[in-house]
Amino acid sequence: MNNFIYHNPTELVFGKGQIARLSKLIPADKRIMITFGGGSAKRNGVYEQVVKALEGRDFIEFWGIEANPSIETLRKAIALGKEHKVDFLLAVGGGSVIDGTKLISAGLLYDGDAWDLVLKGSYDRTVPLASVLTMAATGSEMNSGAVISRYETQEKYAFYSNYPVFSILDPETLYSLPKRQIACGLADTFVHVLEQYMTTPGQSRLMDRWAEGILHTVVEIAPKALGETRDYETMSEYMLSATLALNDMIRMGVTQDWATHMIGHELTALHGLTHGATLAIVINGTLRTLRDQKHGKLLQYGERIWGISEGSEEERIDRTIARTEEFFRSLGLSTHLSEEGIGEATIAEIERRFNASGVHHGEAANVDGAMARRILEACL
Ligand code: NZQ
Ligand code: ZN
């Protein structure tokens, strides 16, 4: 294993009725700004629970952080927070609200335009933030990352700041999610694990088994999570799987990839396609294009997750990649760019962007513009 430092300070508060603990979890003297998305929290009763828990406390609200949070909206939240001298942020929503709030938490202590911080990539002077999670997918509730968009230039970049102080995970909040969001959340969770697992084999048995445990769980619960009635145990496993897939736990001492995510972010920036939906397409292209580089891990994954152990190694890898694509289709997601009306013009633009910024993504730092083109062409 490689050297590493693991320090995840987020307190996880899990289960039914836990939103009521908010008042105890946030220090009494704080001037709070609560941030929300477009309104789902009002429709499903989460808003009511939050304001009830914080009755008598000093708070203001900011509504309207959109899916794929934009700097344009976040600038307004930062201005409001500065005006009210906010010193604690509570994000109520999915990854987008939490990510956006991470940028607000840095922007409140920065004098310039917060987009500078996104371009810088990180900023560690932050106002404390916490979350009430209502959509399981990104792990943002227990990591330090955020992904921020700039709509006017169709850009979308990762930014790192601080971990939430605490996050409340009540699986009942997920009952109101549309099926497509759950499908995208399951796909995002699955691909987060693959980004940290589908690399060089033999680095850590322990990390492999933890990663495989999450993959198995997601595959097992997917049909029930997408079923007609919402089941508490299923939603609990879904919610915790998403958190554990990206809270630094399964990456200790091992290499990571993330090329699929970097290409997926471009598809969202250019087409507005939901994050998990971009991954359900791109991952297949990544596996097909980099199958030689990922040969050993593809065999291990095929055998342990999909029970594929017969035939030549190349046949087993063919079936493993096909089985993976089938899984995403079983969630009701597209697995080809053409199904989303995306073609050559977008591939050319992503190739141009990667070349212009000189990036080399992926475990082997070989996903540049030309390789991104090959990956995208492999999922047309
Ligand atoms: O805005 P509202 O009205 O709240 O509706 C949201 C939104 O439209 C809705 N929703 C959330 N909770 C709901 C609900 N609807 C009904 N019932 C509920 N309980 O769901 C929609 C999507 O929400 P969003 O927060 O955008 O989804 P998700 O959690 O998938 O977040 C996606 C964003 O996170 C970034 C993605 O790039 C994308 O911008 N990511 C963040 C990461 C991180 N911080 O570590 C890593 C990920 O790889 C990802 O890139
Ligand atoms: Zn993701």
Q: What is the CA radius of gyration of the chain?
A: 20
Ranking 38-47, 61-70, 226-235, 244-253 by mean pLDDT, the lowest is 226-235
- Write down the pTM of the prediction: 0.98
Which of ligand 1's atoms lies nearest the C-alpha of 181?
A: 20
- Residue 200, pLDDT > 90, answer yes
- Our answer on whether the CB atom of 264 is closer than 6 Å to any ligand 1 atom is no
Q: What integer is the mean pLDDT of 188-200? A: 98
Question: 26 CB contacts (<8 Å, ≥6 apart)?
Answer: 32, 54, 57, 88, 90, 130
3-state SS, residue 102: helix
Residue nearest to atom 43 of ligand 1 (CA): 140
Q: Does ligand 1 have an atom closer than 6 angstroms to the CB of 146?
A: yes
Residue 202: HSE in the Cβ half-sphere, 13 Å Cα cutoff:
3
Q: How far is residue 367 CA from its own chain's centroid?
A: 21
For 295-323, what is each residue's pLDDT tens digit? 999 999 999 999 999 999 999 999 999 99
**C-alpha to C-alpha distance for 320 and 326, rounded to whole angstroms:** 10
Q: Whose CA is nearest to atom 21 of ligand 1?
A: 67
What is the residue-averaged pLDDT of the chain?
98
- Transcribe 239-290 into DSSP letters: HHHHHHHTSSGGGTTS----HHHHHHHHHHHHH---HHHHHHHHHHHHHHHT
Q: Which whole number is the average pLDDT over 154-182?
A: 97
pLDDT band at 229 (very low <50, low <70, confident <90, very high): confident
Percent of the chain with pLDDT over 70: 100
Burial class (CB in 10 A: 0-12, 13-18, 19+), 7: exposed
pLDDT value at position 230? Answer: 86
Say which DSSP state 350 is in: H
Neighbours of 69 (CB within 10 A): 29
Tell me the mean pLDDT in the region 70-84: 98
For residue range 123-153, list pLDDT tens digits in order.
989 999 999 999 999 999 999 999 999 999 9
Contact 31, 85 (CB under 8 A): yes
State yes or no: pLDDT of 233 exceeds 90: yes
Closest ligand relative to 96 C-alpha: 1
Dist. CA 114–CA 91, nearest whole Å: 18
C-alpha 352 to ligand 2 mean position (Å) = 23
The reply to whether ligand 1 has any atom less than 6 angstroms from the CB of 91 is no
Cβ(261) to ligand 1 under 6 A? yes
* 118, 262, 283, 372 from 267: Cα distances, Å: 19, 9, 13, 12
Question: What ligand 1 atom has the least distance to the C-alpha of 139?
Answer: 45
Q: Measured between alpha carbons, how far is 164 from 162 in angstroms, rounded to an integer?
A: 7
